Amino acid sequence: MAEYDNSNIFAKILRGELPAQKVYEDEHTLGFLDIMPRAPGHTLIIPKRPARNLLDIEPESLAHVIKTAKKIAIAGKKAFNADGITMQQFNETAGGQVVFHLHVHIIPRHTGVQMKPAASVMEKPEVLAEHAKLLKEALA
Ligand code: AMP
């Protein structure tokens, strides 16, 4: 497996070199909106410690990510009045991974509504800002 490369997009977001609609941050993790959401409220949770994916992440760091994923799932269900939550996590190109800093997707779902295809439609910044606000309110 390739080494962790700190020039990936999410490492740049962590260093503040690229913008993101942040919804949650603590000592170990960051949660921000996916710019091409598969459904409203689609959030990515990443560890602050470098890890390429599930295959190299330290178990403790992964545990922090999962704890945050649960918080975001509960907030997403509340904020978007969702009927369910889809959690996704991809590993290596063959596993569907595109950005090589471990991330968990939390996607609010409504009965009978299909998700958009992955990375298909770039959401408007003002819509993302509104969705981030709703999630932050639900997390408060
Ligand atoms: P994957 O590695 O397959 O889990 O996919 C990476 C995800 O990151 C996709 O859902 C993209 O829409 C999302 N994405 C790519 N660039 C950004 C960015 N700058 N900010 C937020 N999400 C992003």
Q: Looking at the domain assignment, is residue 106 inside a domain?
A: yes
Residue nearest to atom 17 of ligand 1 (CA): 35
Using the mean position of ligand 1's atoms as its centre, give its distance from the Cα of residue 35 in Å. Answer: 7
Q: Is 97 in the pocket of ligand 1 (CB under 6 A)?
A: yes
Q: Looking at the domain assignment, is residue 59 inside a domain?
A: yes
Q: Is 10 in the pocket of ligand 1 (CB under 6 A)?
A: no
What residues contact 50, with CB distance under 8 A and at least 6 apart? 4, 6, 11, 101
The tokens for 108 are 């609010």
What residues contact 16, with CB distance under 8 A and at least 6 apart? none
* Rounded-to-integer distance, Cα 60 and Cα 97, Å: 22
Grouping H, G, I as helix, E, B as strand and the rest as coil, residue 100 is coil
Instruction: For residue 115, give Cα distances in angstroms to 111, 118, 137.
Output: 11, 8, 24
Find the domain containing 81 and state its range. 9-139
Q: Looking at the domain assignment, is residue 1 inside a domain?
A: no
pLDDT in tens, 98-110: 999 999 999 999 9
Among residues 42, 64, 101, 103, the one annotated as catalytic is 103
Q: Looking at the domain assignment, is residue 3 inside a domain?
A: no
Q: Looking at the domain assignment, is residue 77 inside a domain?
A: yes
If one counts the domains in the chain, the total is 1
* pLDDT confidence of residue 1: 82
Grouping H, G, I as helix, E, B as strand and the rest as coil, residue 14 is helix
pLDDT in tens, 29-86: 999 999 999 999 999 999 999 999 999 999 999 999 999 999 999 999 999 999 999 9
* Rounded-to-integer distance, Cα 96 and Cα 29, Å: 22
Q: Looking at the domain assignment, is residue 4 inside a domain?
A: no
Q: Looking at the domain assignment, is residue 2 inside a domain?
A: no
Q: What's the CATH number where 74 sits?
A: 3.30.428.10
Q: Are 47 and 65 in contact (CB under 8 A)?
A: yes
Nearest to 35 by CA among 114, 99, 111: 99
Q: Looking at the domain assignment, is residue 75 inside a domain?
A: yes
Q: Are 80 and 33 in contact (CB under 8 A)?
A: no
